[in-house]
Structures are given as structure tokens and as C-alpha cells.
Amino acid sequence: MQLSVDERGEVRVIRVREAKLTYPGLSVFFAEVRKVVEAGCLAVVLDLGAVSYIDSASIGCLMDVHRLLTDKGGAVGLCGLQPRVETMLSMTGVHRIIRVFREEEEAVASFGSGGRRSGNA
């Protein structure tokens, strides 16, 4: 699984650099997110711009990421969704639980200057 992590102030942007986010790679994906959270970051943006396909296990994993962060008082946002991925998240209701943004800048800004989630999308 190809991932990169960028620091944007208190926010970490985790970019998935794969066309498919599916079951075989989810353990690596979740381990990377957990590492970021355990290092003290409570504001995470997942950039899925390169991802054109997700499966049901991926949706479950995104919910696990959401729980991991909210249990610690943090939050996660998604950005850069391709239409097929956005449709899957909408059909399953994930978009009502995890905030979705068109652009990375908007997602990062939603956390405010302290890295905490502010307002509603």
C-alpha cells in the first residue's frame, strides 16, 4: 500500500496513492493511521483522490478510523473523492458520519487553528 503523510500544522493529511483501497491493503492503511494518532495527532484528513474503487471492508475500515479518532476526542475528514467512491460512501451513509470535503484545503481548514474540528460541513 502506497501512502504518504503530510503535516499541515496540527492536521495530518494521509494520502492513499493506490487506485483500489480494498481488503488486502487495509491492515497497512489502518496501521499508518494508528501510528499518526498514537504520535498525538487528533486531526486527520484522508486524501482519497487517487482511489477509484473501495470495497465493503474499506468502508468498515473508514468507520474504524472514525472511532479511533473520536474515542480520543479527535476527528477525521475525507477529501478528493472520485465519483464512484463518493457514491459508495453516500449509499452506505458514511457521508453522514465522516465529513467529506471536495478539496484538501477545505478539509484542513475545517479543523481550525488548533487542529480541532470546528463547525459543520
Q: Which residues contact 113 (CB under 8 A, 6 or more apart)?
A: 9, 10
- The model's pLDDT over 7-32, given as tens digits with 9 standing for 90+, comes to 999 999 999 999 999 999 999 999 99
Q: Where are the domains of the chain?
A: 3-109
- What is the percentage of the chain residues whose pLDDT exceeds 90? 91
Helix (H) or strand (E) holding 71: helix 56-71
Residues of the chain with pLDDT under 50: 118-121
| Sign of torsion over alpha carbons 98, 61, 38, 51 | negative
User: Whole-prediction pTM value?
Assistant: 0.92
The reported pLDDT for the residue numbered 112 is 87
Fold (topology level) of 3-109: Transcription Regulator spoIIAA (3.30.750)
φ, ψ at 103 (rounded to 5°):
-120, 150
Tell me how far apart the alpha carbons of residues 49 and 95 are, in angstroms, rounded to a whole number.
Answer: 16
